Structure 1
């Protein structure tokens, strides 16, 4: 294909690479522009719900993802102070499998990134250019031109912006602002052998919900590693994403935490932190031959662990539509079909975020409301997520 037939994708993350694979399966030419000096991923864990396998299996990469994944028995919510189990959602039982068909997995982000990158490198028609930070674009009517920070330009038939939460292309299309929520995340991976043998639920996905903080942990790389994410109200909001020492800042936050949780927090690296933010939902994230995808279009908080899930669904949906329509119509239809599902995810993630961090009597009421909750109750609440999407599969792909 000529350059004029090539689709540009800005961003080589999970959403961008999945989209590149899906478009290649249709016989399209794709050029991925990644701002980093190499295509790589932050070396921490990620959760993937059963909804992503609708896309992965149709692309022929589902088995490769399963091979590098861990399969927790349950997704658990625990009161961070008392240690009481509030919610226990089995994700390997016959009832779960009958209802959701696909697995709930946790993977090392670098491992799944490598699966998708390897597939891109093998796929015909996929080109990847690194050190290509797209800073602006022009829709020329019959093609799109992008300009990178170093002055290079690239042209293609259309532009799919999968450039994340701080998308520069979104700035031009939507012109809104980031919405910091006043929390920061700290991430650590340790050897499983460093976790006490009697530590509760160390083979599950566990969220400890505390007053103004939460901690999530789960195994990685077939139980050899232990991934920990600790989220606190921002103790030093003027620091931003910097290497600063926060041990003393956050110790008072979890002073009353359960001893088992304190033993995990003692293993944390609290120097590197990530400021947590999202954006308000919008109905439209396309203009002409340009469209946003994933976090660039609809960034979500981590409440449901569905940021990657929404981007992967997007990849399948947009590829389906490009089989049916020209670029402008397909991109407009993509915004229309995905807007309500992703907006619901954004807004419900905000609500659930508050639910995780309740304090005082609100925390007591939350715990009381969860008494007697069954796995079936949880399945009903999650059905719209795990069985949802707008037919996010690629009709021309290998089964």
Structure 2
């Protein structure tokens, strides 16, 4: 194994959850020299979904961890982020992602299939000798001793227990008295072979419409076109349990430009994705137990930062493991990360509201975006610039 030359402040960690955030944390802790056990409740490791957007705040870290070559083999590096009006197809603004962008933020913007990034991190975790377990559901954790009991009776003991068990984290339930918040919006996702589409650009494009939007971008070296349609469900607003069906999807985008309506054929209608987040909290740790990723700060997807913030968490935990003892790392981690992720959570909500404006408010949004200079990066510096480590 190769890792940083630091001697960690604690010896062992148990990570609960084998998604991208959990695996990334396993990698960074092993690079620091911590012995890591990772448990996943599913019968095999894997991810559900399609595309991910990785801003330079995420790719910068992945490259630092030695994964640049693996990422470049499967990712697409788009030329622009483009905003359009979903009703007219008019371009409102764009962020060029070329040399100036890369130089400003120290890394490129890329889009990658979720399963590809998961596979890269899983392979790296195996290379670094992370002890991996599937079919293992943790049902009890003693935050003072670091003891965790699985449903099958097996007991794990570690200096630190890290909850990376997602939006509906059972470990969060031990620390925070809250519930996921249903936004009332629903997503439909799908990919289609690029050969089946008349034209595909090397851009990330979002069409902003009344209470809904479409995002498209290429995946896997341009072989696939990723499509995500998001809309506010009237059925949810009426209190219906079976809300956000394909009929609502078709109706919401029925008045949009033909380019947008065409994407209705590119997403799977058999599954809808209700969109949830939670309110920001700083109650991330107790004793030897701490939360990270969506367990700590689940957010709506409008800034494409859910995965990116989990990778930032993993990087912070890897650094803090060099200096913070097991009983102090949770507090140190929360101190470094809670305000940052709270800002991303709340800004994601606000950007969703901006994106989905209607009527006069949508026209005012369009006018504002048209007036933006293409070389003006001030409004995204806070998100993509390197974050100083507070350790």
State the TM-score, normalizing by the size of structure 2.
0.92
* Structure 1 counterpart SS, 2:116: helix
1:23 matched to 2:42? The reply is: no
1:1-399 correspondence runs (5 A) = 5-92=11-98, 94-124=99-129, 126-139=130-143, 141=144, 143-197=145-199, 202-237=201-236, 246-377=245-376, 379-391=377-389
What is the alpha-carbon distance in structure 2 between the residues aligned to residue 277 and residue 183 of structure 1?
8
How many residue pairs are counted as aligned between the two chains? Answer: 380
Question: Cα offset for 1:37?
Answer: 0.7
What is the alpha-carbon distance in structure 2 between the residues aligned to residue 163 and residue 144 of structure 1?
17
Question: Cα offset for 1:256?
Answer: 1.2
Paired position in structure 1 for 2:7: none
Question: Cα offset for 1:148?
Answer: 2.9
Q: Is the 8 A contact 1:55 1:392 kept in 2?
A: no
C-alpha change, 1:38 and 1:236, in structure 2 (3 Å) is: farther
C-alpha change, 1:391 and 1:53, in structure 2 (3 Å) is: farther
* Structure 1 counterpart SS, 2:328: helix
What is the alpha-carbon distance in structure 1 between the residues aligned to residue 298 and residue 208 of structure 2?
22
What is the alpha-carbon distance in structure 2 between the residues aligned to residue 28 and residue 169 of structure 1?
22
Q: Is the 8 A contact 1:54 1:392 kept in 2?
A: no
State the TM-score, normalizing by the size of structure 1.
0.91
Question: Cα offset for 1:221?
Answer: 0.7
Mean Cα displacement is larger for which, 342-351 or 48-57? 48-57
What does the per-residue CA deviation read over 1:30-84, in whole Å, with 9 as the maximum and x for residues that have no partner? 0101111101111411010111133222321122112211011001111100111
Question: Cα offset for 1:159?
Answer: 0.4
C-alpha change, 1:54 and 1:114, in structure 2 (3 Å) is: same
Q: Is the 8 A contact 1:69 1:221 kept in 2?
A: yes
Q: Please, which runs of 5 or more residues in structure 1 have no aligned partner?
A: 394-399
What is the alpha-carbon distance in structure 1 between the residues aligned to residue 20 and residue 172 of structure 2?
18
